[in-house]
Amino acid sequence: MPTAKHPIYFRPQLEAMFLPVEQMLQIDRVNSIDGERLVCEMDVSSHWVFPLHFPSDPIFPGTLLIEAAGQAVAIWGWHAGLRGRPRLVKVEAKFESPVLPEDRFVTFMATVRLRKNICLGSVGLFVGERKVAEVTAVIIIAKF
């Protein structure tokens, strides 16, 4: 997986964007944004959700992976200069492999196209070389 040596956004900068905060902010760092492409990561090895989601057989919930993919697309929109309230208006997801407590982080590799204030994202989710999911997310960024 390509990853930057020096991320361009860390969690404190992401919390300053119009994104969910605290437990609901899923993205921990953005490693690169190059044109339509974005690479970011979510730490999962000690994520708060594992003790709560099937405690005897913990698995990372698909809904939070979809949320994280949507946040990645919204971050791309913010970086592209859009300011406003991001709203996930359409999503499709295909899951291929579970995210488990022993996994360290999930890498999100996105390609995003912009049409006015609409971000159309295709996001691949990976743990190492293992593909976890493919999420297509449409985010509208409503101006303040």
Which residues form the domain of 127?
A: 9-142
pLDDT in tens, 19-31: 888 999 999 999 9
Tell me the average pLDDT across 61-66: 97
Question: What CATH code is carried by the domain that includes residue 40?
Answer: 3.10.129.10
Tell me what the mean pLDDT of segment 49-77 comes to: 95
Is residue 2, in this structure, part of any structural domain at all? no
Q: How confident is the model at residue 1 (pLDDT cuts 50, 70, 90)?
A: very low
At residue 69, the pLDDT reads: 98
DSSP assignment letter at 27: -
In a domain, 1, yes or no: no
E runs forming strands in 11-56: 29-34, 37-43
Q: Using an 8 Å Cβ cutoff, are 92 and 58 in contact?
A: no
pLDDT of residue 2: 47
Apex CA 89: angle with CA 84 and CA 91, to 5°?
130
Report the greatest alpha carbon distance in the chain.
46
Q: What is the mean pLDDT of the chain?
A: 94
- Is residue 73 included in any domain, yes or no? yes
pTM of the model: 0.93
Query: For 77-81, what is the mean pLDDT?
Result: 96
pLDDT value of residue 143: 83
Contact, 118 vs 139, CB < 8 A? yes
Query: Is 127 within the bounds of a domain?
Result: yes
The predicted-structure confidence for 101-142, as pLDDT tens digits, reads as follows 999 999 999 999 999 999 999 999 999 999 999 999 999 999
Could you tell me if residue 58 is inside a domain?
yes
3 domain-assigned: no
Q: Does residue 43 sit within a domain?
A: yes
* Residue 124, beta-bridge partner list: 109, 134
The count of structural domains within the chain is 1
Q: Catalytic: 79?
A: no
Task: Indicate which residue of 6, 47, 53, 79 is catalytic.
Answer: 53
Q: Is 25 a member of any domain?
A: yes
